[in-house]
Structure 1
Amino acid sequence: MSQQSSLQSLEQNESPVPSASSAFERYGFTSAENLFVRQRKVFERHASIEVGGQKYMNQDDFISAIAPGEDWKKIKREQFGILFKVADNNKKGLISLQDFVVFENLLSKPDAEYEIAFRLFDVDGTGKITLDQFKEILSSNIAPESVPFDFDCEWLKLFVGRNSGKKQELTYEEFTQLLKGLQGERLRQEFKYYDKDGVGHITPDNFKKLILSVARHKLSDYVIEHLPTLCNVSAGNKISYAQVAAFHNVIRQMDMVERIVLKAISE
């Protein structure tokens, strides 16, 4: 699987990272020592390779250790393999216990998704990526049936300037800011594409296409099937940009809402 196809949702402030919450929350521990014990148990349960008396994980072992159950269908199990490139610090195709613990601790950082994405792009470890790399990988992660992204947009020029060359480099901080704003720009461009007459509304079918393009992996099959019926709440079965943006904001906050609900239930 290519790096490009495995990064389908990173630009949506998402990634095939097992959890956006901390490693402590993932395992239900409050002690760093207990957390390490749990991480070691997970590693030893899945590591199938032994070299010089030391156990190691190959890519399949690693995926089995971090991927959700088979009932999670929005992100294919194989796509978690892209994270192996981050965990394999020595680029030997095997992961030690120390490598696994370092990777797990990386997940505890609040900006884990961004740092993992940046590490994948920064193959030489220079701490920078080129604007061309950003454009190439973003383009390859937009589905063929989706609206192509216009890189000549005013939004991108605000970040990189109007006369930026292909070799312009982005720091980690610039990269994260681009990703954070990118989804909103995609939403605006796609709405404008479907609103060809500039009337400020789109049809139910185009609303479904737009939402599936930017957030399919966040939606259940039931919600996907009934997306067009949401237009019934609007006069004339038309949806405005404000309504599209509001619906998308709800989708983006689903993980936060879920955590709040689970916390309330536990109390």
Structure 2
Amino acid sequence: MANFFVRYWKTLAITSVSITSFYLFSHYDYSQINTHLLSVLTIQAAEYERRNARKALSKNSKIQRRKDIDDDNDDEENVKDDLNRTDKSVTNIYERRFHDFASIEYNGEIYMTPMDFLESVVAERPRPRIGRRRLTDDIVNAILYSTPSKHRGSERFFRNLEDAGLISCAEYLFLWVILTKPSTQFEIAFSVFDTDGNKLVDKHEFLMSDNSQQTNTTLLRHFFGKHGHDTLKYTEFKRFMENLQMEILEIEFNGYSHGFKTISDLSFTEILLRYTNFDHDTKIIIFEKVKKHSDQQNAITFEQFKQFSTFLNNLEDFGIVMYFHKLSNKPISQAEFQRAVKISMGFELEYHIIALIFRIFDIDEDQYLSYDEFMPVMKDRLARIFHTYDDSNVSNSKFDQFKRCVRKRAKDNPIIALN
């Protein structure tokens, strides 16, 4: 069941762009949304499964052989973390991040804490740690008991819980799918769960299974109550998603505002560039350009930052307008950029934000943006792709994690380094 749920949300994440395009150019009634969406998902999922069928069979054989070998390992080898060792076989970028950041284990499965989840979204790499913390039944019951109901949700839901929560890999993929989507697509996501079309989602539907026996998690407890008998309304589902997006934005903004109500142009630029594959020299040139023309009187407020994030979440619609410019081999000026925003989003960005965008992405400084100068980079920003994070050289053994942890503490505390 858990593997099915993971495959489902992985497939949904992979095909989210094609699903969005499908609805963008279709004019079906809401009553038909669930049927058509599930048809698209079924076709895409079948194609995905066919491509990976042989690989899965081969992988199962390797896993069985590896298990036989592990059973014969001596005590010294058994000191290593078995879960971390199997993590190396994960290739999907978001599953990989889940395995890298997940810090707890329960009943042989790994989970994220709410703080792990937030860090995986905004941080380049996980905190140094010595293995994963193994939870007992009593600890898990205490954690779930403290989980607030959906009626007490807030924009600090994950921050308030800190390490007192369990998030499964499937739930992590689900959160990633909706994290960067516009609110107009929340209803589509809700309809995927609402299989009987009664405008309510129960725990059975959320788990996508008729015969599910799954460990209770923070989200399941939050959505469906202590005994799992509550149902989830669309308004409650939407409020949770909006709170999640707002919480991430506040964390990012506060990380650069340092307690003030605004962030500088350089900070805004740094937020954008940390998700790009620009080389070091290119980033230096961009920072110099921004610094040269920066005006402290036009510092960026949280409301402006939030508006730009709304623009990013609707990037697919804006991309259509930009693509027409590309087909006509026509670059876009600041005025035309603003008009494209107005057409596709229904609102205008602050002039200062647009000028800053051009300063960052107009590499040849011709006062125009092309599709290729802007859209690919913004898609990376939207997906929060960490190009600079190379975990191929990061050892997952407990001893190496211990050494990294000591080095981290020594760096933070010079007294430790001297000793």
TM over 0.5, yes or no?
A: no
Give the TM-score band, short-chain normalised.
0.3 to 0.5
TM-score by length of 1: 0.39
Judging by fraction of residues, say which structure has more helix.
Answer: 2
